[in-house]
Structure 1
Amino acid sequence: MGTQGEPSPQSEQATRVRWLGRLAVVAIALWFIFDGLRGVWSGAAWSPRS
């Protein structure tokens, strides 16, 4: 924190970097989840009844 209780620019930058890291982890996790679901669903033969 700065001298008057305001966050310093370095801590603000560290917070931004942490959030970017978290977003990157979430994006990678979602990619793996959707990739796995696509692999499971690609073998399913679904056809509507006529």
Structure 2
Amino acid sequence: MPRADTEGVLASIARWLVPGGRLSLITVPYDIEDLPVDFPGPVRLTSRRSIC
């Protein structure tokens, strides 16, 4: 998903969760935008390196 869409998509997902529901996300440790990846089919990868 494009970086510009991240906040809106996560807000939508949060509304879909039942009260107290949880969401698990997996990201990659790179700062990239729209990188083509074949996993397990063609996808577009966007990630932002964050410090936690």
Instruction: Report if TM-score (shorter chain) is over 0.5.
Output: no
With CA pairs under 8 Å and 6+ residues apart, which has the higher RCO, 1 or 2? Answer: 2
Normalising to structure 2: TM-score of the pair?
0.27
Quick check: which one's helix share is greater?
1
Question: Which structure has the larger Rg over C-alpha atoms?
Answer: 1
